[in-house]
Amino acid sequence: MRDFPSCFGENGVQVADSSSSSSSSSKNAQNLVTCVYQCRIRGRPCLITVTWTKNLMGQGLSVGIDDSANQCLCKVDIKPWLFSKRKGSKSLEAYSCKIDVYWDLSSAKFGSGPEPFEGFYVGVVANKQMVLLLGDMSKEACKKTGATHIPCNASLVAKKEHVFGKRVFGTKAQFCDNGRIHDLIIECDAVGMKDPCLIIRVDGKALMQVKRLRWKFRGNHTILVDGMAVEVYWDVHNWLFGTSLGGSAVFMFKTSIVAEEKLWFSQNIASPSSLQWSFSQRFQDSKSQNLGFSLILYAWKNE
């Protein structure tokens, strides 16, 4: 897989650097959720990227498969204007074998974001083996694909999401396989405040508070979730000093952080744009090194 931001432009959804995006265009273009899964096809490790999008045309979906060297093997796009056909399949080829992508979103239920939360399935099948299965309709998926429902051994290693709000930004987060799904809330009221404060809550409990935010608009801090250390990085420069009303802040929540990564962070805070690129680059590096789970949130303030 190529550099994290650039690959989205090829999916028909432009994801520009948030420091240069305008407030009017970015909110529609960047309403997306991307999940990266580590899987195996014919015994070979690979990354499967599932991207859910939402814009004025409707909801869309893309599924891409990369090899262990981050090279794209194949990809299927379901364009938003074709999304009225909410179920179907597509045959691809990789690793010298046939790969089928199946989806059924005809009964899918969506919240405010582009990712469905129930009533759907997305399956990737290679040689009649289920490589990746998403959704709550596993029986229907197995019947349609003809694949045996066995543990796929696919693990979610990275997620990127765009969230919107005025002062409060929320999402769901699962920091490890088979772990609890937590309510993750970011609170920050920076408009007209002499001393804005950043608060991060997990399941309603404040686990992190940053005061004097104008002096500490970038930084990192460790919180404990389910007894596991989660490193939080933040860059709210655009909220406090940005020239456009729609500029986003960026947050990274990462497990399995080591001292070397903290050193990396301290050496890459020269500017807002370079830091946000560094988040994406470090995200890219962590996948190939299997360093744990990464969640990147771009938080856009509504006008």
264 vs 119 pLDDT, higher one: 119
pLDDT of 105 over the 50 cut: yes
C-alpha distances in Å from residue 138, one per residue of 78, 105, 126, 142, 144:
21, 13, 16, 6, 10
Which has the higher per-residue pLDDT, 230 or 152? 230
54, 114 Cβ separation under 8 angstroms: yes
Query: CA dist 189 to 12, 77, 202, Å?
Result: 33, 38, 18
pLDDT: is 152 or 289 the higher one? 152
pLDDT band with cut points at 50, 70 and 90 for residue 35: very high
- Whole-prediction pTM value? 0.79
Could you tell me whether strands 58-67 and 44-55 are parallel, antiparallel, or unpaired per DSSP bridges? antiparallel
Please compute the mean of the pLDDT values over residues 104-115 and round it to a whole number: 90
Query: Stretch 278-286: mean pLDDT, rounded?
Result: 50
Q: Per mean pLDDT, which range of 57-71, 200-214, 272-286 is the poorest? A: 272-286
Q: Kindly report the backbone phi and psi dihedral angles of residue 230, in degrees, each rounded to the nearest multiple of 5, phi listed first.
A: -125, 120
Q: Give the chain's mean pLDDT.
A: 78
The confidence score (pLDDT) of residue 42 equals 87
Share of the chain above pLDDT 90, in %: 48
pLDDT at 31: 86
Measured distance CA(262)–CA(144) in Å, rounded: 47
pLDDT of residue 84: 66
Residue 14: pLDDT above 80? no
Kindly list the distances between the CA atom of residue 250 and the CA atoms of 72, 217, 218, 276, in Å, as whole numbers in the listed order. 26, 11, 10, 7
pLDDT for 109 beyond 90: yes
